[in-house]
Amino acid sequence: MPAVKDMVPDIAPLRPPEEVMRLSRFGAMMPTRLSFLRAVVRRLCAERSKITRTVWTMDALGHGTAVYSVDFGGHTYSLVALSHDLPEDQRSDRVIATAWDAVFVLYDGVPSSSEVARIARNAPLQEAGRFSPRDLVLSRANKSVRMWDATARALQAGTQPDAAMIRDIGYLMRTTAVYGNGKFGIADRYLIADRKGLGGPFAAEMLTVYLIRHFTLDLVQHVGQGRLDPQLARHLGIGNATGLGMAPFLVNHPVLLNNWMMARETALARVRQIETLSEDQQAHLKALAKRAAQHLSEWHVPASDHDEALRRLEREWTGFAHHFDALDAPRPMDALWAVAQNASVALQELLLSLILEPFGDLIDGLADCMGDPFGPLTSPFGGTQALRHAIETNWPWVFGIDYTDAEACRRFWYVSAAKLEPRLGDRYLDVGAELETPLDIGRRVKALYENLPTTDAPVSAFLEAHPGHALAISRVALTARYPYADIRDNLIASTCRPIDMLRCKLSFFGATKFDPKSDLWTRITLAQGAPLGDELMPENDDWWMPVLT
């Protein structure tokens, strides 16, 4: 796999990390055609994949077992889906839940009946089950009871569900966890990473999510004994509820984060470099701008502050739209981007997402560079003076934070003994700060800097006296080679909003319709607008910012 840095053409400079790697920008990120789900569906479409239902033992209420198989990249994968009767009082989206409406395993191959039986014994236990290397992904989902009941009832009555409700909710079920890469005994990612279609980050997980969406549509039509209008069905994606667990991931996988951001920034730089646009390309961009406006108008969330932010963006986008009338000028994308520098971060991120969309030929290859097959290949510093210089060069933001201020350190991240749920505590009120998860990278780097000797010395000699600084040293070394590896904000400040980190990661997954429920968790929609299971053809890979037309 080529490194992203080796694929960066001689183009306009990438946006600097100090501009990109900020929580305020993370909190505004949008999905792009490089997003992981999009990349998987694009490949499914390119291969004209067919999804086959090989097992279907469901009762009239939709409780039972289903297996779907799909050929993808030269391999066959199967989704084993187990649907249960879930008492209302047990339905929870939190990690600490112990029962779900449906549980799933993505299986490598076509499972025999004994393998289905094995999965049926373990998948309902989720984290407490044991899985084999043939099991690639483990997941579970809960119904949106409102959407589910309304859809099933409408179909039973021979009608269609209310389009407005579909627009507002957008899914029949939402996953509450999608586990991959070796968790609970399932296959390690490296066992499948060389396979076509599964090389990208979270590709197996995204294939699972797509198949779960297919299952939910099948199931509701089984229960409703009717057929959904394909246009409405297409607008039913798969929901997801995500909490704090995603936030530490970004800190604990710095090379991966770097590669995601590097690909995205490289894509932007390539598009900005386009000299001229054909009339078709101009028309495409204008159509996408209109679609974005409609998408925003259809995107409402219950939280008033988040909804107001959406309405501001909607108004700002309306005012910005006329700039799409000047696309016949030289270097039109760069000019458009330059104009947006006077706009809000939210508009910039929406525009970035939009202007990548028509240029797959130019940027889709970057999706192959977003993994981290090697781990960090860093070189040690020649001495403590070089280390000092690297901190001064790449970590200037830490000097602006007073870590002796209580508010700058109020939060601490930890792992609860309850199903290992990641949580966030108040250092001055809650117990457990001594067991803090080390996400306080900025604080550590500043402390390292303050402890460095005034005269040069081997870093190993410094480490012998100060072994606790090893993490900070490794992160400074990482940033020297991987500029987008670290978030340049204080993650333990009282003002830190984990939701911004969730937004970043979820946008890379391809999430839309972010629906924050607090600063700690959000609901989102995946695969809304994506082609249905019998529509996987290249011409149907056009579902950026889905709208219900």
Which lies closer to another protein via its Cβ, residue 65 or residue 378?
378
User: Does residue 438 touch another protein according to CB under 8 A?
Assistant: yes
Which lies closer to another protein via its Cβ, residue 142 or residue 266?
142
Considering only 9, 319, 365, 382, the residue that binds another protein (CB under 8 A) is 382
Max Cα–Cα distance, the chain, nearest Å: 81
Which lies closer to another protein via its Cβ, residue 22 or residue 253?
253
Considering only 16, 319, 330, 468, the residue that binds another protein (CB under 8 A) is 468
Report yes or no: 106 and 181 within 8 Å, Cβ to Cβ.
no
Considering only 420, 456, 495, 538, the residue that binds another protein (CB under 8 A) is 420
Considering only 127, 162, 188, 316, the residue that binds another protein (CB under 8 A) is 188
Residues 85 and 77: their CA atoms lie apart, in Å, by: 26
> Is 214 exposed, middle or buried, given 0-12, 13-18 or 19+ CB atoms closer than 10 A?
buried
Region 146-175 residues binding another protein, contact defined as CB under 8 A: 146-147, 169
| 121 phi, psi to nearest 5 deg | -80, -30
**Inter-CA distances, 234 with 337, 528, 533, 535, Å:** 32, 7, 10, 10
**Inter-CA distances, 380 with 258, 396, 455, 475, Å:** 19, 20, 18, 11
By DSSP bridging, strand 237-242 and strand 171-179 are parallel
Nearest-approach distance from CB 540 to another protein, in angstroms: 29
Nearest-approach distance from CB 412 to another protein, in angstroms: 9
| 87 phi, psi to nearest 5 deg | -55, 145
| 503 phi, psi to nearest 5 deg | -60, -40
User: Does residue 467 touch another protein according to CB under 8 A?
Assistant: yes
Residues 353 and 28: their CA atoms lie apart, in Å, by: 11
Region 474-493 residues binding another protein, contact defined as CB under 8 A: 474
SS3 state at 496: coil
User: Does residue 243 touch another protein according to CB under 8 A?
Assistant: yes
**Per-residue string for binding with another protein, 395-414, x by CB under 8 A?**
-------------------x
Region 510-549 residues binding another protein, contact defined as CB under 8 A: 517-521
User: Does residue 96 touch another protein according to CB under 8 A?
Assistant: yes
Which lies closer to another protein via its Cβ, residue 49 or residue 208?
208
User: Does residue 373 touch another protein according to CB under 8 A?
Assistant: yes
Region 290-349 residues binding another protein, contact defined as CB under 8 A: none
Region 445-464 residues binding another protein, contact defined as CB under 8 A: 458-460, 463-464
Considering only 376, 410, 453, 532, the residue that binds another protein (CB under 8 A) is 376
Considering only 377, 389, 396, 538, the residue that binds another protein (CB under 8 A) is 377
Residues 394 and 218: their CA atoms lie apart, in Å, by: 52
Nearest-approach distance from CB 420 to another protein, in angstroms: 7
> Is 189 exposed, middle or buried, given 0-12, 13-18 or 19+ CB atoms closer than 10 A?
buried
Report yes or no: 510 and 35 within 8 Å, Cβ to Cβ.
yes
Nearest-approach distance from CB 376 to another protein, in angstroms: 6
Considering only 110, 310, 415, 532, the residue that binds another protein (CB under 8 A) is 415
SS3 state at 181: coil
Report yes or no: 35 and 525 within 8 Å, Cβ to Cβ.
no
DSSP string of 240-309?
Answer: EEE-TTHHHHHHH-HHHHHHHHHHHHHHHHHHHT-----HHHHHHHHHHHHHHHHHHHH---SSHHHHHH
Which lies closer to another protein via its Cβ, residue 413 or residue 543?
413
Report yes or no: 429 and 410 within 8 Å, Cβ to Cβ.
no
Segment interacting with another protein, rule: CB under 8 A, options 32-40, 57-65, 67-75, 373-381: 373-381
Considering only 58, 293, 310, 471, the residue that binds another protein (CB under 8 A) is 471
* Chain mean position to CA 473: 28
Residues 60 and 314: their CA atoms lie apart, in Å, by: 44
Region 201-240 residues binding another protein, contact defined as CB under 8 A: none
Nearest-approach distance from CB 247 to another protein, in angstroms: 12
Considering only 350, 473, 491, 524, the residue that binds another protein (CB under 8 A) is 473
User: Does residue 194 touch another protein according to CB under 8 A?
Assistant: no
Q: How many residues bind another protein (CB under 8 A)?
A: 68
| Contacts to another protein by CB under 8 A | 91-96, 133, 142, 144-147, 169, 181-191, 241, 243-244, 373-380, 382, 414-418, 420-421, 423-426, 430-432, 435, 438, 458-460, 463-464, 467-468, 470-471, 473-474, 517-521
